[in-house]
Amino acid sequence: MDYDPETEIVVTIGATEALTAIMMTFFNQGDEIIVPTPSYALYFPIIQLTKSKVVSINTSMTDFVLTPESLEQSLKEHPKAKVIILNYPTNPTGREYSADNLQKIAEIIRKHHLYVISDEIYSELVYGMPHTSIARYIPERTLVVNGLSKSHAMTGYRVGYVAGPAELVKWILEMHAFMVTAPSNPAQAAAVEALENGADDPLESRKIYQRRRDYLVKSLNEMGLETVESDGAFYMFVKIPAQYGQDDQAFAWDLASKGKVAGIPGNSFGEGGKRYIRFSYAASDETLKEAMKRVKEFMAKEIK
């Protein structure tokens, strides 16, 4: 992807501010915004702040990936939808989108005159397949959100960016300036160093995360817990034990209070996340081993 840094990129305080600036710029009261779920929990309160409406597409029945068919069906029911928010690899599932699937989705988006907010913050952390941006197919309708937090472990520096068509980006730049003025100079200097001299750093991180993913999958499966196939990011989406029914909130609370292991209830990520819990493996090997030990002890003691 090629963008003019003078007119097609806004440097933001992390991807979070990028998302907020975009939504506050373009979303109006009553607008319908399509969000495949489960998806990053922050989207929902920002949409609520703009007084827009979430149109949720539950992807739990399609292997946690949006399909062209489900998007077409949603647009039949909501023909005035304005924007779709895509996030891949996805938080919380780690699922990635193939180039073929994205191309088909892009054709539908172009046909229905939708715009896309494509949150690709985990694009450097993909296992076993190349990452493809939907902006390759519909650059004129896509706003790409990314940053340095995940790729270069620079979460606290808060450097992200929006890239897209100049006629859209100019308005985001104004909202961004009203909200925060600009990211700090030291953070931007660190980001320049990462991009110019650390372009290959994510390759090593990717190997480490993949090894940790494989360890969690093996450990959790041996306990009888079903895991969603994770293609990227650093999250493990796990189906809760049958005795909890759909109450992932109760399971997460019990695991935290009795097992001393923290996870995020799947319903926090929308309708498609119910009956699951999200674990993060952005932690040391020692911490993950201790966590699996505690989960195993919890399962043996509490799960009938």
140-186: pLDDT as tens digits: 999 999 999 999 999 999 999 999 999 999 999 999 999 999 999 99
Q: Is residue 4 part of a domain?
A: no
60-91: pLDDT as tens digits: 999 999 999 999 999 999 999 999 999 999 99
Q: Do 180 and 268 sit in the same domain of this protein?
A: no
CA distance 175 to 282: 33
Q: Do 183 and 61 sit in the same domain of this protein?
A: yes
Q: Do 153 and 183 sit in the same domain of this protein?
A: yes
pLDDT above 80: residue 299: yes
Tell me the pLDDT band of 303, cut-offs 50, 70 and 90.
confident
Q: Is residue 3 part of a domain?
A: no
Would you call 253 helix, strand, or coil by DSSP? Answer: helix
Q: Do 117 and 193 sit in the same domain of this protein?
A: yes
198-236: pLDDT as tens digits: 989 999 999 999 999 999 999 999 999 999 999 999 999
| Residues 109, 138 contacting (CB under 8 angstroms) | yes
Q: Is residue 284 part of a domain?
A: yes
Residue 5, pLDDT score: 95
55-67: pLDDT as tens digits: 999 999 999 999 9
Q: How far is CA 40 from CA 27, 234, 248, in A?
A: 18, 13, 17
CA distance 57 to 74: 7
Counting the structural domains of the chain, the total is: 2
96-129: pLDDT as tens digits: 999 999 999 999 999 999 999 999 999 999 998 8
For residue 233, give its domain range: 201-302
Which of 180, 197, 214 terminates a domain? The answer is 197
CA distance 228 to 236: 7
Q: Do 151 and 290 sit in the same domain of this protein?
A: no
Q: What is the mean pLDDT of residues 291-302?
A: 96
The type of residue at 272 is G
Which of 179, 197, 215 terminates a domain? The answer is 197
Integer Rg of the chain from CA? 20
The CATH number given to whatever domain includes residue 20 is 3.40.640.10
C-beta atoms surrounding 247 within 10 Å: 16
Q: Do 214 and 254 sit in the same domain of this protein?
A: yes
At residue 276, φ and ψ (nearest 5 deg) are: -130, 165
pLDDT above 80: residue 304: no
Q: Do 217 and 188 sit in the same domain of this protein?
A: no
